[in-house]
Amino acid sequence: MIKVAMMVGSLRKESLTLKLGEFLKNRYSDKLDVEIVNIDVPLYNGDIDNDADRPASVTTLFNQVKDADAVFMVTPEYNNSTSGVLKNAIDWVSRSPYLNNKPGLIAAQSMGMTGGARGYLALHEILNRIPMMLLPGNDILLPASHTKFAEDGSINDEGTVKFIDGVIENFITYYNKVK
Ligand code: FNR
C-alpha cells in the first residue's frame, strides 16, 4: 500500500477538484492509502517561517507530507493558472525538505473543455522548481467536470475511468521503480 498525501487546490465544500480527489482516493483504496491533507493554512510570510512562529496547521502539513510515500496534487484552473490556495501551500512545504525526491502525480479539472490544462501546466511549472519525482507523460485532465460525477462520487464516463485506471497503474509501476 502506498501512503499518499493529497493536496486539493480548492477549499469549497462542493468543489469539483475535491470530487476528483475523492474519486482517486476511493477508487484505488486497495492500492493507495490516500489522506486529503488540510491546505487551509495562513498565507506564507517569512516572518513566521521559523520553528518558534510557524503556524500549527503548517507544521501538521509538513508532517503529513513527510510521513507520506508520495504526494498527489489536484488543481482547479483559476485565471489560466493553479489556485492561490495550492500555490501558497506549496510555497510553505517547499521551505521543508519533505517534497524532495517524493514521487508525485498531478491532476486537474475544469468545467470547460480544456480539463484545466492551463492550471495543470502552471502547477507543473511550479513543481519543476522542486526536486519531486513527478510521473512523466500521464496527464489526468477532467473536462466538463460538472457533468461527470454521479451522486456516489463515481465518474459516469467509462472511457475517462479506464484512462485514469491506466494512469494509476503507471504511477504504481513508476513508484516501485524510483523508490
Ligand atoms: C475560475 N474558473 C476558470 N475555469 C477555467 O476553465 N479557466 C479559468 O481560467 C478559470 N478561472 C477562474 C478564476 C476564478 C477566480 C474562479 C473562482 C473560477 C472556473 C473554475 O475552474 C470552476 O469554478 C471550478 O469548478 C473551480 O474549482 P472547484 O472549486 O469546483 O474545485
Is the CB of 129 inside a 6 Å radius of any atom of ligand 1?
Answer: no
C-beta of 144 in contact with ligand 1 (< 6 A): no
The structure's pTM equals 0.97
151: phi then psi, degrees, rounded to nearest 5: -50, -40
Q: Is the CB of 15 under 6 A from ligand 1?
A: yes
pLDDT of residue 128: 94
pLDDT at 130: 95
- Say if strands 140-142 and 133-134 run parallel, antiparallel, or are unpaired: unpaired
Quote the CA–CA distance of 73 and 61 in Å, as a whole number: 14
Longest pairwise C-alpha distance within the chain: 50
User: Domain 2-178 belongs to what architecture?
Assistant: 3-Layer(aba) Sandwich (3.40)
What pLDDT is recorded for position 177?
Answer: 96
Q: 3-state class of 74 per DSSP? A: strand
The domain spans of the chain are: 2-178
Residue 60 in grid coordinates = 501538521
- In angstroms, the Cα distances linking 5 to 9, 21, 138, 153, 166 are 13, 11, 19, 20, 20
pLDDT at 18: 98
Distance of CA 5 from the midpoint of ligand 1 (Å)? 23
Determine the pLDDT at residue 165.
98
Q: Residue 63 in contact with residue 70, Cβ under 8 Å? A: no
Task: Please tell me the distance from the alpha carbon of residue 35 to that of residue 68, in angstroms, as a whole number.
Answer: 9
Other Cβ atoms closer than 10 A to 56: 8
Q: Is 12 in the pocket of ligand 1 (CB under 6 A)?
A: yes
pLDDT of residue 78: 97
Cβ–ligand 1 distance for 170 under 6 Å, the answer no
Q: What local confidence, expressed as pLDDT, does residue 98 receive? A: 97
178 CA from centroid of ligand 1 (Å):
34
Ranges in the chain, pLDDT < 70: none
Confirm if 76 and 119 have CB atoms less than 8 A apart: yes
112 lines ligand 1 (CB under 6 A): yes
For the stretch 84-128, pLDDT in tens is: 999 999 999 999 999 999 999 999 999 999 999 999 999 999 999
pLDDT score of 131: 94
